[in-house]
Amino acid sequence: MEKKNYTGPIERLDATRWRIPKSYKQGMNVDGLIYADDKLIQAITQDRSPEQVANVATLPGIVKYSLAMPDIHWGYGFCIGGVAATDPSKGGVISPGGVGYDINCGVRLLRTNITLNDAKPRMRRLVDTLFNTVPCGVGRGGKVKFDKKELRRLMTEGSPYVVNKGHGWDSDVDVTEAKGKIHTARPDLVSERALERGASQCGTLGSGNHFMEVQVVEKIDDARAAQAMGLEEGYVTVMIHSGSRGLGYQVCDDALKALKDTPRKYGIDLPDRQLVCAPIESKEGKHYLGAMAAAANFAWCNRQIMTQLARQAFADVFEQPAERLGMTLVYDVAHNIAKMEDYDVDGKSASLCIHRKGATRAFPPGHAELPDRYKGIGQPVLVPGDMGRSSYVLVGQPGAMEHTFGSCCHGAGRRMSRGAAIRASKGRSIHQELLDRGVIAKARGRTGLEEEQPDAYKDVLQVVDVLHNAGISRRVAKLRPLGVIKG
């Protein structure tokens, strides 16, 4: 589909919000609402992603509004950066396009006791060791293999299963979103083809925008929250970004094919066939939700195994056990997922299906689902930037529950397609440009660095500031990249 500029109506509500009125398009049940500042909204309207926000507003049972975070860009069905809540008691639907192909693509952050001064002389060796320890690249298999019986158990039990097998520490589970397990997972609904694709990929990084990055805490904005997370200026952190690999892709692909005639069956009229969906309470809806949850559990296991591989690499390079290096997990968040959560709607509590497509959960202080250590500060929100600029740690604020169904941005957001980024790299050495910025980068693929060059992304600080100023989340720490591995 052509990605020309959005030309529909868009009305400014305040300093951080823009509205697409439901009168814009026939069938819209709610308004569209985009979080952005003046500069970002200009970039956002350069493609048709706001049109996707309007399209999502036509879904049956959608509540309040169709949302987009400031890192919004064009996606499959839903924009990336899209959030939508649907109410099953009002015919609400589940749409695979609202989750995406990479089910539970997400990010986790580890802190360490290693200072920047200690890390600098070993950084190249550390990047090389991580590259050789953590499998990365298109279709690349891992060192940890599971047979189909083990895979089904892994997808049922989530990350506690692999931790119990020695791939992590018990403390990791407590600071993983949903404790690394959606209880409604149905591995029996995952196809044989998906199982085949996932058999050797648990514990692998993959390709595209997935990465493992060594960083340094450059600035603390919220000392109390940073202390609760174990973050301190001048100390090294590790960020891991990956998802459910080929298994999750196959689950999504299977669902899109299975659901192609479902809207007609239930009398649902859609403006875009990529929004194919099923009522949450239908047989078809429950089938997708069960398989999607199984893939999400696989993704948590994937990141958990890579966490332990990273600890092994650090232990080898710094010649000390990971425990002594203080490599504890700060938090793990999902970016592409749909989950049932409770919210107040018109003064009444309702259980809603929250689609987050390139968006992060951002629960505020006191929320029942938070581990005890974060109840006083709010949920850590991990927002990666790009290889040449910083990433940010935030915490969820009460405004998220009131305005965004407990959701926040998930990254900087692309402003160039991968093809455009490669073309813009012609005649340049992205590797050298990153070195000039103090970042050692290593990629498996021939165009990995070119596709993911910093110019391909918006400035993550602008994205983060919109939600900070809107009271959705609050800045805690700035993390500067030192070394990165990619597929």
Task: Provide DSSP, 276-337.
Answer: --EETTSHHHHHHHHHHHHHHHHHHHHHHHHHHHHHHHHHHHHTS-TTTTT--EEEEEESEE
Continuous H helices in 367-445: 398-403, 418-424, 430-436
Q: Are 183 and 244 in contact (CB under 8 A)?
A: no
Number of helices (H), then strands (E), belonging to the chain: the values are: 17, 19
CA distance 113 to 235: 7
Helix pair 283-318, 123-133: axis angle to 10 deg = 140
Predicted local confidence at residue 2, as pLDDT: 46
- Structure tokens given for 444: 């498996």
Q: If DSSP states are collapsed to H, E and C, what string results for 125-146?
A: HHHHHHHHHCCCCCCCCCCCCC
CA distance 158 to 160: 6
CA distance 130 to 124: 10
Among 336, 347, 332, 472, residue whose Cα is nearest residue 399 = 472
CA distance 30 to 266: 20
CA angle 345, 349, 350 (to 5 degrees): 75
Predicted local confidence at residue 119, as pLDDT: 98
Question: pTM for this structure?
Answer: 0.95
Predicted local confidence at residue 3, as pLDDT: 59
CA distance 141 to 444: 13
Q: Are 246 and 219 in contact (CB under 8 A)?
A: no
- Structure tokens given for 280: 């949450």
- Structure tokens given for 103: 């089910």
Helix (H) or strand (E) holding 70: strand 65-73
- Structure tokens given for 54: 């309007």
User: Is 22 strand, coil or helix?
Assistant: coil
CB atoms within 10 A of CB 152: 18
CA distance 163 to 441: 29
Predicted local confidence at residue 1, as pLDDT: 42
Q: What is the pLDDT along the chain (487 residues), one digit of tens a residue?
A: 445 789 999 999 999 999 999 999 999 999 999 999 999 999 999 999 999 999 999 999 999 999 999 999 999 999 999 999 999 999 999 999 999 999 999 999 999 999 999 999 999 999 999 999 999 877 667 778 899 999 999 999 999 999 999 999 999 999 999 999 999 999 999 999 999 999 999 999 998 889 999 999 999 999 999 999 999 999 999 999 999 999 999 999 999 999 999 999 999 999 999 999 999 999 999 999 999 999 999 999 999 999 999 999 999 999 999 999 999 999 999 999 999 999 999 899 999 999 999 999 999 999 999 999 999 999 999 999 988 889 999 999 999 999 999 999 999 888 778 888 888 888 888 888 888 888 999 988 767 788 888 788 889 999 999 999 999 999 999 999 999 999 7
- Domain spans, the chain: 11-95+103-486
Predicted local confidence at residue 450, as pLDDT: 85
Active-site annotation holds for 410: yes
Q: Top-level CATH class of 11-95+103-486? A: alpha beta
> Which residues touch 128 (CB under 8 Å, ≥6 apart)?
442
| Residue 466 burial (C-beta neighbours within 10 Å; 0-12, 13-18, 19+) | buried
CA distance 478 to 476: 7
Hunting for tokens 């648990």 — which residue is that?
202
Catalytic residue among 210, 355, 410, 468: 410
